[in-house]
Structure formats: structure tokens, C-alpha cells
Amino acid sequence: MRRLFGSVRARATLAATLVVAVALVAAGAAVLLSLRSNLIGQAATQAERTARSVATDLSIGTTTGKLDLDEDEEPVQVVDDNGTLLAATKDLQHISGTATGAVKPKPAKTPAPGATTPPANPATADDSDDDPDDAQESDGGEDSLDAGEIDDRTTFSNGSASIDKETSDYRFAAVKVETKTQGTLTVYAGAPLSAEQSAVRTALSVMLIGFPLLLAVVAAVTWLVTRRALGPVEGIRGEMAAITASEDLARRVPVPDTHDEVARLARTTNETLAALETSVERQRRFVADASHELRSPIASLRTQLEVGAAHPELLDVEGAVEDTVRLQRLAADLLLLARLDAGERPVADARFDLAALAREEAEGRDGVTVEAPQAARVAGSRGQVARVLANLLDNARRHTRSTVALTVRCEGEWAVAGVADDGDGVPAGDRERIFERFVRLDEARARDDGGAGLGLAIARDVAVRHGGTLTVRDAPAGGALFELRLPLARSGGSGA
């Protein structure tokens, strides 16, 4: 069960079914209430019509004894102010919901001339229930009626009656009429509620049968739609599982021919795979190149030491030292690159002056001029930035004809350090490739000078991790101009 509802498809189907179920129940309840109210209203209208018809006969002088109620199929009662039943429908055997439960009328007493009509008995008050359609009288209190006048107000109540051994529920209407000979009478007439009850039962039966079927259809459609919508996701998952098992990062997940979130997910996944493939390939090349670069000085040093051990007079001490220094520098470069690849970030609250650092790095280097007229405070690792400047100066010194110019200036929110030489420059097509690891445009000269093709790669990585950039373009006087841009430090940090 947990596995079933652990899927997005099952949860979406369940949620959609529950929402539709709640909506159907609410709509069904509203329909039933509206239907019941309308049908009760129709029964009330019919009952009022019957009551007023009888009241009209009484108002024109017809006595209760002469009322023709034998033909009425619905219950009718005529009651005086004392609650005495004066007339009723023939074969009325039981009644409730009116002023009296009597079913057999008593003879009416004609009041003496000039007699006053007795006050209404509280027991004859309307027995209406709490139905919102009941009690439609105004709040003005009882108004006296003239002889032959019918009260405009009608009260309603619900009850039951038995006529000729058939018991049904009724909606009763009560209308008062003032007669000349019998005083104030109240006419109760009922209309059956069987139609309302039958309609409500039919509607409820339809809902009890139809709603489950409709919910089943909704669940099935939702299941199929989500299955179709999530099919590409399953394809992506399957392909990712296959890529993980095969370790083949060249494979890509299928991209559906849509413009929805799933298609964007597939494209993003492929971009991630491409970046991962590039990173892994770069790491493989790095390991291979590092092995190759380390193999040469180690092999040379071993050869010299073996020759020296066999023939001490032939030991090239200076060459062994050079190979050792070269090996030491290469190991340091590899360790720095490993730390950068691991995500090492400079300390953000460390501050130092890039202009002063540039003068320190240029000091003692032949053919290097420095122009740093103002301070340029930046944040980060002073040692790593010094390494960048040293790498740029070493690179420029290897390729220049005469001098190297080092400048530091501020441009807006940036500190810019430029290193320019007057050599042959860097071809436009190689200006990005030279920042790749172990790339040397002049393999023979670079190896002779001790370069392994890591200096510029380290310089750019450090610049990026300090929030800056490192680019190359043509120098104004010819040659190459490398520009290091670092964001100026905000005030308030600690100095360095």
C-alpha cells in the first residue's frame, strides 16, 4: 500500500478523486435542498389556494354545516376561536400539525345578536415548525377583521393526515376569515408532500448510483492522463539509471517533444550530464597530463642519480637540481589546482593592496616596469593573487623581446592589473585555449623553460574564485596584454 501511494500518479489520482467527490457532495446537497424547497413551496401554494377557496365560501355566508368538503381529497379543517372543529373532510381519520387533532366536527353555535366574539384561544396558535418557509405573517400583531373579510396573512406548518386509511405527510396552510354568524374561523387545508419526498428520494438514488460511477471515471481518466504525462519522466529515470550503471556520460536522456516542465527537466538533465562529462574528461586529461609531466623530470632525475652512483665523476649536480626544482614547482601547481577543483574559496574578509602586491612581485625582475599610482584594495587570498601576478610576469618574460609593463589602476568597482609584453602576442583563435591546463603554444620552448602549461590555467581559476576575470588581448605597443580584474573591497574589513 505504501509503495502504491508512494507514486506521484497514485497521489494525483487520489487527490483529484477526493476533490471531485467533495464537489459532487456539495453540489448534490445544494440540488437536494433546492429541489425540496421548491416542491414544498409548490405544496404550500396549493394548500393556500384550497384554504382561501373554503374561506371565500365562508365569507359570503355559507355556514360550516353547508360546506361541501366531501369531494376534497386533501385534508381540510374549519376551526373556531375556541379550537372547536366545525367542519372537516369526509373520511378524515387522523390529523396532526393543525390547531386541533379532532376529526369529527361539532355543531356550530350561533352567537346571540350583539354578542362579542371571544378572544382567540392560545391553544389555536399556529403549530408551525422551524421550517424557513413557515410563518409568513407580519410582525404587526393581530388585526381585527370585518364581517366577510379574509385575512391576507397565511401561516404554514407541516404535519400528517389519514384519509380513508391512507396516511401521508402534508403541508398545511391556515387562513382566517370573519363570518357574520359564526365569528372568526380558521381554515386549515393541506397539500401532500409525497411529490417532494418522491422527487428527493429519486434524486438521492440517482446521486448514490451516479456519483460513484462518475468518481470511477474521474479516477480512471486522471490515472491515464498522469501516466501519459509522467511517461517521459519514467524514461528520464530509466536512462539515468542506465547511465549510472554503464558510467557512460556521453549518453543523454530523451527530451519529449513538448514545451512543459518535463521537457525543461530533460534539457536541464542533459546540460548537467554534458557539464559532468566535460568535468570528468577534463579530470582524465589532467591526470594523464600530470602523469606525463611528472614522468619526465622523475625519469631524468633517476637517470642522473643512477649514472652518478655508478660514475660519480659524471654526476650532473646542476641538472639534478634543476629537475628537482622543476618537479617541486609542478607538484605545487598540481596541489593548488587540486585545492581549487575541490572548491577552496578565499577568505572574504581578508583585505590587501593590489598595487603594493604588484610592486613586490616586480621587485628583482629584470626588464619589468611598474605603474601603480594609487592603492587598489581587494579582498581574498593575498598568496593566491601573488601567484597569479607571478605566473603572468613569468609568462610575459618568456615571450617578450625587451620589457614587460605591469600596471594597476581602478575602474569603477574593479581593480585592474595589466601585464603587457612586446613579443609576438597570442593569436585570436588561441586566446581561450591558452587558459586550458597543460596547453603550450610552443611545446619545445615551454618545456625548455620549465613551463608545464599550468601557470595561466591556475591564474584564471584563482581570478574566477575571487569573483574576477582574466583575459588576454593585443597590447597597445604590440605583444599580449593580460588583464586581471578583481572587485574592489568594501570598506570596513580588516587590512592585510
Three-class secondary structure of residue 350 per DSSP: strand
pLDDT interval class at 371 (50, 70, 90): very high
Bridge pairing between strands 414-421 and 480-487? antiparallel
Q: Span 235-239, mean pLDDT? A: 87
pLDDT (0 to 100) of residue 143: 59
pLDDT (0 to 100) of residue 451: 58
Distance CA 418, CA 352 (A): 18
Query: How is residue 250 written as a grid cell?
Result: 556521453
What number of helices (H) and strands (E) belong to the chain? 8, 13
- Tens-digit pLDDT profile for residues 462-487: 999 899 999 999 998 788 999 999 99
Tell me which DSSP letter residue 303 carries: H
Residue corresponding to grid cell 379550537: 83
Distance CA 192, CA 159 (A): 10
From the CB of residue 210, how many other CB atoms can be counted at a distance below 10 Å? 12
Distance CA 320, CA 301 (A): 6
Dihedral, CA atoms, 65, 67, 68, 73, nearest 10 degrees? -100
Please check whether residue 378 is in contact with residue 488, taking contact to mean a CB–CB distance below 8 angstroms.
Answer: yes
- Tens-digit pLDDT profile for residues 43-71: 999 999 998 999 998 888 888 878 877 66
Q: What share of the chain in percent tops pLDDT 70? A: 86
Question: By C-alpha distance, which of 352, 409, 356 is closest to 381?
Answer: 352
pTM of the model: 0.49
Q: Span 372-401, mean pLDDT? A: 91
pLDDT (0 to 100) of residue 348: 62
Position 128 pLDDT exceeds 60: no
Using CB atoms within 10 A of its CB, is residue 385 exposed (0-12), middle (13-18) or buried (19+)?
A: buried
Position 356 pLDDT exceeds 90: yes
Q: Span 117-122, mean pLDDT? A: 41
- Tens-digit pLDDT profile for residues 16-32: 999 999 999 999 999 99
Distance CA 86, CA 57 (A): 14
pLDDT (0 to 100) of residue 137: 40
pLDDT interval class at 115 (50, 70, 90): very low
Distance CA 283, CA 286 (A): 5
Residue corresponding to grid cell 577568505: 347
Q: Which domains does the chain have, with CATH numbers?
A: 1-247 (no CATH), 261-341 (1.10.287.130), 351-487 (3.30.565.10)
Residue 359, CB-side half-sphere exposure with 13 Å CA sphere: 11
Tell me which DSSP letter residue 396 carries: H
Three-class secondary structure of residue 20 per DSSP: helix
Residue corresponding to grid cell 655508478: 310
Position 9 pLDDT exceeds 90: no
